[in-house]
Amino acid sequence: MAETLENAVLVLILAGCAYTDLREGRIPNVLSAALGAAGILFLGARGEWIQLPARILTAAVTLAFLYPFWRSRGLGAGDVKLLTALAVCLSPVRHGICFCLAFVIGLVPALCLVLRGQGRSARVHFAVPIALSAAAVILLPGLWTGLTQVFVYP
């Protein structure tokens, strides 16, 4: 029951991020902060504080990896903050899957824009691929468990 409530809260926050990114072209800081706070709160509620250092390290690595993309205007600051906050909500392996999946999903509209000749003048609302990939990882855990057993823990 508690896990279902946690999943619903995370997916609703992510849906709010995707909606505001599509509507306003930005992701409010309050939504990214709420996502990170929810992740920490849920860890505490489950008594799994031991996982917090690994998740904070995952968030730091995510931020360090995405910083150059933000500096070169390849990603918006809201996208970087959203993926960083999401690192606190998911285990490092699940976050890695979500991270890669978000870029694969985001590649589809980006390629469409390039093929239509819009290139860098148009933008992909990246909160949508992030929300879709996170929802897939959160709501379909069995699928990803099988993949991690094959690729991560052979």
* pLDDT, tens only, 89-146: 999 989 999 999 999 998 888 788 778 777 666 677 889 999 999 999 988 877 666 6
What is residue 102's predicted lDDT score, i.e. its pLDDT?
Answer: 93
Q: Give the list of residues 6+ apart from residue 92 with CB closer than 8 angstroms, or none.
A: 54, 55, 57, 58
Average pLDDT over residues 19-35: 95
State the greatest distance between any 2 C-alpha atoms of the chain, in Å, as a whole number: 52
End-to-end CA distance of the chain: 32
Please tell me what DSSP assigns to residue 48: -
Nearest CA among 35, 94, 118 for reference residue 27? 35
The SS3 of residue 16 is helix
* pLDDT, tens only, 46-68: 888 999 999 999 999 999 999 99
Please tell me what DSSP assigns to residue 25: S
pTM as predicted: 0.86
Cα separation, 47 vs 53, in Å, equals 14
The number of CA neighbours under 13 Å toward the Cβ of 153 is: 7
Cα separation, 147 vs 76, in Å, equals 30
- Transcribe 104-119 into DSSP letters: HHHHHHHHHHHHTT-G
List the domain boundaries for the chain: 2-151
